Amino acid sequence: MTDTGNEMDDDALAGEYALRLLSREDTRRFETRMAQDPALAALVRDWQARLAPMADELTPEVPPRHVKRALEARLFPDSARRMKVTRRLWMGITGGAVFAALAAFLLLLPQIQSPGFVPQYSAELMSEAEGLRLTAGFDPDSGTLILTRMMGEARPGRVQELWLIAEGEPAPVSLGVLADTTEIRLDVPADLIARLPGATLAISDEPPGGSPTGQPTGDVLAAAPVVKT
Amino acid sequence: MTTAGDIETLIARVALQDRRAFSELYDATSAKLFGVCLRVLKDRAEAEDLLQEVFVRIWHKADRYRVTGHSPITWLVTVTRNMAIDRLRARGTQTEDINAIPAPRDQRPTPEAQAIALSESRRIVACLDELEQDRAQAVRGAYLDGLSYDDLAKRFDVPLNTMKTWLRRSLIKLKDCLSQ
């Protein structure tokens, strides 16, 4: 090409560099110059911006789902484990626990009582293996959730933590550590009140003070759906 | 539809390691970037693998985005294309393989696509159209397919130096056209 001045040469060279057309040696030489010459770097940047709209000619294609799953498992291994816990919760729920919970709930309903508290929703959290049974009553008007411990307590040196698993929430949300008392009163945060009906409550076994990660870390002891009273 | 401003916000949140923003950014841009990977690599499994690498890079380097001064899509496309070409070149020489690469089709978008295209992309298409057809195809082959000068010279059956001259002249013409 006939030289029309260094400036134009550099501009074309920057374009070739942006297109990745330069040989390995020329690329190295160009990058050495660019490191010392911001104007050259700016020329490359301009070319990148000029050329990028060519990608609009390409047909976008939604990648298969497994790509995103693999990506997130790779970047966020802790939430992959969290998903496993969630899945375990759901498996527990679908494994007949719902029916058992509902049956028990009907029997135990009258025992939920606290002055002035009218639960519109309830859940029955129980585990035969754990010897655990708690009834939960929820009043969405006040956001009050009252759990009555019918049977069982936390494992020695451990605590029980209550979780909300709501549709659309990527992970369980902690509602608090449960005291070993008969009646446990929790105020559900305002933004979660509407999520409770139809969601699932679950109790996990955690170290003192509750889960250190903000997600269930120990065994899932019981889980049950929140149903209309 | 996600606007450039939305994507910019998402990238800023990803730079703060916001996982939900990362997921949204993926949902908003992965189809476009996957299109870039597929076009350069022409191999589905490799393109999927690369797309993952691209988003790993985005997760770790989102804080660098601002210093590039690019629009968000330009940055994402440039990162993706460069990584795709790195992978293409790492495969080794393409020369034996060149005939396996589909010949460049006329990539002019359909009228509908054109209607929704950004003004920028309409401009570059219009400017490419002002070049002789084979020169425009050579520029597209270099950018979209990641072809090297050797590949291009073989593809268009011209001497290497002729191809270099074509490309450099075409670039200058493109720049003039785009700056009008």
pLDDT value for A30:
94
User: Looking at the structure, do residues B89 and B133 belong to the same domain, yes or no?
Assistant: no
CATH of the domain at B43: 1.10.1740.10
For B26, the closest of A20, A52, A68 (CB atoms) is A68
The answer to the question of residue B112 being in a domain is no
pLDDT: which is higher, B132 or A166: B132
| A20 in B contact zone (CB under 8 Å) | yes
What lies within 8 Å, CB to CB, of A79 at 6+ separation is A72, A170, A171, A215, B19
| B26 in A contact zone (CB under 8 Å) | yes
| B160 in A contact zone (CB under 8 Å) | no
Report d(CA A198, CA A121) in Å as an integer: 9
User: Looking at the structure, do residues B91 and B150 belong to the same domain, yes or no?
Assistant: no
pLDDT value for A10:
93
The answer to the question of residue B66 being in a domain is yes
Percent of chain B residues past pLDDT 90, beyond the cut = 62
> Where does the pLDDT of residue A88 fall: very low under 50, low under 70, confident under 90, or very high at 90 and above?
low
pLDDT value for B44:
95
> Where does the pLDDT of residue A213 fall: very low under 50, low under 70, confident under 90, or very high at 90 and above?
confident
The answer to the question of residue B82 being in a domain is yes
Give B 38-67 residues with CB within 8 A of chain A.
38-39, 48, 51-52, 55-56, 59
User: Looking at the structure, do residues B55 and B15 belong to the same domain, yes or no?
Assistant: yes
pLDDT: which is higher, A111 or A163: A163
User: Looking at the structure, do residues B134 and B77 belong to the same domain, yes or no?
Assistant: no
pLDDT value for B111:
44
User: Looking at the structure, do residues B83 and B135 belong to the same domain, yes or no?
Assistant: no
> Where does the pLDDT of residue B16 fall: very low under 50, low under 70, confident under 90, or very high at 90 and above?
confident
Closest-approach residue (CA) in chain B for A62: B31
Q: According to DSSP H, which parts of A55-140 are helical?
A: 65-75, 77-92, 98-108
Residue finishing a domain among B44, B79, B98: B98
User: Looking at the structure, do residues B20 and B82 belong to the same domain, yes or no?
Assistant: yes
Check CB contact under 8 Å for A48 and B74.
Answer: yes
The answer to the question of residue B115 being in a domain is no
Burial of B95 (0-12, 13-18, 19+ CB in 10 A): exposed
- A13-17, A27-31, A105-109, B9-13: range with lowest mean pLDDT: A105-109
User: Looking at the structure, do residues B58 and B134 belong to the same domain, yes or no?
Assistant: no
For B31, the closest of A11, A60, A70 (CB atoms) is A60
User: Looking at the structure, do residues B80 and B149 belong to the same domain, yes or no?
Assistant: no
The residue type at B120: E
User: Looking at the structure, do residues B131 and B59 belong to the same domain, yes or no?
Assistant: no
User: Looking at the structure, do residues B131 and B94 belong to the same domain, yes or no?
Assistant: no
Residue finishing a domain among B98, B117, B143: B98
The answer to the question of residue B122 being in a domain is no
Chain segment A122-155, per-residue pLDDT in tens: 998 988 778 888 999 998 888 889 998 888 889 8
pLDDT: which is higher, A219 or B35: B35
CA-wise closest residue to B175 among A34, A36, A19, A20: A19
Q: Retrieve residue A86's tokens.
A: 């969630």
Q: In what order do the strands lie in the sheet with A183-187?
A: A183-187, A144-151, A132-139, A121-127, A227-228
Three-class DSSP category at A1 = coil
pLDDT value for B34:
97
pLDDT value for A118:
77
Percent of chain A residues past pLDDT 90, beyond the cut = 33
Neighbours of A135 (CB within 10 A): 24
CA distances from B169 to A80, B94, B140, B145, B176 (A): 52, 25, 14, 20, 11
CA-wise closest residue to B156 among B128, B178, B126, B136: B136
| B17 in A contact zone (CB under 8 Å) | no
Q: How high is the mean pLDDT of chain A?
A: 82
The answer to the question of residue B120 being in a domain is no
pLDDT value for A223:
84
The answer to the question of residue B117 being in a domain is no
Indicate if the pLDDT at residue B92 is higher than 90: no
Mean pLDDT of A152-170: 85
Neighbours of A189 (CB within 10 A): 13
For B109, the closest of A57, A60, A75 (CB atoms) is A57
> Where does the pLDDT of residue A89 fall: very low under 50, low under 70, confident under 90, or very high at 90 and above?
low
Indicate if the pLDDT at residue B88 is higher than 80: yes
**Strand pairing category for A144-151 and A121-127:** unpaired
pLDDT value for B74:
92
Q: Retrieve residue B26's tokens.
A: 């993926």
State how many domains chain B has.
Answer: 2
User: Looking at the structure, do residues B70 and B33 belong to the same domain, yes or no?
Assistant: yes
pLDDT value for A97:
54
| B146 in A contact zone (CB under 8 Å) | yes
**B169 contacts on A by Cβ (under 8 Å):** 1
Chain segment A43-58, per-residue pLDDT in tens: 999 999 999 999 998 9
Please state the ipTM of this predicted complex.
0.84
- Highest averaged pLDDT of the listed ranges A63-77, B5-19, B46-60: B46-60
User: Looking at the structure, do residues B27 and B84 belong to the same domain, yes or no?
Assistant: yes
CATH of the domain at B146: 1.10.10.10
Report d(CA A97, CA A222) in Å as an integer: 9
pLDDT: which is higher, A118 or A37: A37
Indicate if the pLDDT at residue B98 is higher than 50: no
Contact A92, A101 (CB under 8 A): no
Three-class DSSP category at A147 = strand
Phi and psi at residue A188, in whole multiples of 5°? -75, 130
The answer to the question of residue B151 being in a domain is yes
Report d(CA B167, CA B153) in Å as an integer: 11
* Residue B50 belongs to domain spanning: 4-98
Report d(CA B106, CA B47) in Å as an integer: 23
Give A 33-72 residues with CB within 8 A of chain B.
45, 47-64, 67-68, 70-72
Q: How high is the mean pLDDT of chain B?
A: 84
pLDDT: which is higher, B140 or A209: B140
Q: Which of A2, A19, A34, A213 to probe the B interface (max B CBs under 10 A)?
A: A19
CA-wise closest residue to B133 among B97, B170, B165, B159: B170
pLDDT value for B112:
43
Chain segment B101-145, per-residue pLDDT in tens: 333 333 343 444 334 345 667 788 899 999 999 999 999 999 999
- For residue A186, give the H/E element and its range: strand A183-187
